Structure 1
Amino acid sequence: MAEQRQDRGNRGRRDRQEKPKDDSGLTEKVVFINRCAKVVKGGRRFSFSALIVTGDKLGKVGVGFGKANEVSEAIRKASDSAKKAMVKVAIRENTIPHDVIGEHGGGRVLLRPASPGTGVIAGGGVRAVVEAAGIRDVLAKSLGSSNHANVVKATIGALQQLRLREQIFETRGLTVKKAQA
C-alpha cells in the first residue's frame, strides 16, 4: 500500500527534467508525459504523449507536443515540434516590460514584472516556459484550468503580447525623446 502511494505522489511532476543542448545552445524541459492505455484482446497497449518546452534563454521559446508508443520517441517528436514553433519574446533587464494576461482554452496566466533578485515565482508549465525564454525575475499566477498544455500555451500567448517601450513608440510614429519631453 505504501509503495502504491509513493508512485501516485510523483505522477505528473516531470517539469524538473532539463537537457542542455550543446550543438545549438537550446535547453529542453519536459513539462508533462501522459500515458494512455488501450485495452485489446491480449491486455493493455500503452501509448505516450509528451509536452516539451524549448528555449535559448535569450528571448526565444517554443512548445511542442508529440505522441508515440514509446516515451523517448514521443519526447523526440515533441522536441522537433518545439524547435519549429519558437517565437521571439520581449525581455527588459531580465524581466518582462509590463503586466500581461494570456489565455488559451480554459487556461489563463497572469505575468507581472519583478524587481531584480526576486527570481521566478511560478509553478509547473509557467516556470518551464519563463525559464526557457531567459526571464529571471517574474511573478506569475495560473488562473482557470490546470491542464498542462493549455497553461503552457497561455504562457506563450502572454509572452507574445509583450512590447517594449521603443516598439510601442515606433508603431505610433514617435521617438523616445519626444515622449519624455
Structure 2
Amino acid sequence: MATGGRKKSNRTKKEETTWQERVIQIRRVSKVVKGGKKLSFRAIVVVGNERGQVGVGVGKASDVIGAVKKGVADGKKHLIDIPMTKSNSIPHPINGMGGGAKVMMRPAAPGTGVIAGGAVRTVLELAGIRNILAKQLGSNNPLNNARAAVNALSTLRTFSQVAEDRGVPIERLYAQ
C-alpha cells in the first residue's frame, strides 16, 4: 500500500518537471503604512510546457523567492491552450490587447524562428511556438505585453473550429 503512494508522488513530480517557468520581471514595491514604508517584491512569471499551454502569473511577497513561487502558482491557474500548425506556428494572424499594450502576431514559414521582443518572446517560446512574427505596440510594460500576448493566443481558432461554428464542411472553407 505504501509503495502505491510513492509511485503516485513520482508521477506528479514528473508532470511538474514538464512545466518550465521564466521570470520576466522582479520589481521592488513599497506600501506606505502608519509606521513608514513596507517593502515587498512583485514577480511576473510565465509558465509553459512548450506543447501549446502557457500562462502568465503575478506574485507578491516580502522576499523574492516567495514572490516567484506565488507567480508560478498564479500562472498555472491561468493556463490557456493554443492551437498550433504542424510547423509549430499559429493558424492565422491575430491581434491582442492587455492594458495599454497591443500585440500583433503573424504565422511564419518553417525555419523563421521566433521574431518577437521582450515579454512576448518569452510567452511564445514557453508556449512551444517556433515560427512566428510578433510586434509589441503601444506599451513597454512587461506585464501588459505578456497579458496581450496571452489574450491574442487565447482567441486563436483552427480551421475545423471555424467550420463547425459556421456549420459547413471543412472542405468548403478551402474552396474559393
**TM-score after normalising by structure 2:** 0.84
State whether structure 2 residue 101 is matched by structure 1 residue 81.
Answer: no
Q: Give the stretch that moved more between structures: 30-39 or 146-155.
A: 30-39
Match of 1:13 in 2: none
Match of 1:122 in 2: 116
Deviation at 1:48, TM superposition (A): 0.5
SS of the residue 1:117 aligns to:
coil
After TM superposition, the structure 1 = structure 2 runs for residues 17-166 of structure 1, keeping only pairs within 5 Å, are 23-24=15-16, 25-37=18-30, 45-93=38-86, 94-166=88-160
Whole-Å separation in 2 of the counterparts to 1:155 and 1:169: 25
Amino acid at match of 1:54: V
Match of 1:16 in 2: none
Alignment size in residue pairs? 161
Percent identical residues: 47
State whether structure 2 residue 154 is matched by structure 1 residue 167.
Answer: no
**TM-score after normalising by structure 1:** 0.82
Whole-Å separation in 1 of the counterparts to 2:102 and 2:61: 28
Whole-Å separation in 2 of the counterparts to 1:53 and 1:28: 6
Amino acid at match of 1:67: K
| Structure with a larger share of its residues in helix | 2
Structure 1 unmatched ranges of 5 or more: 1-20
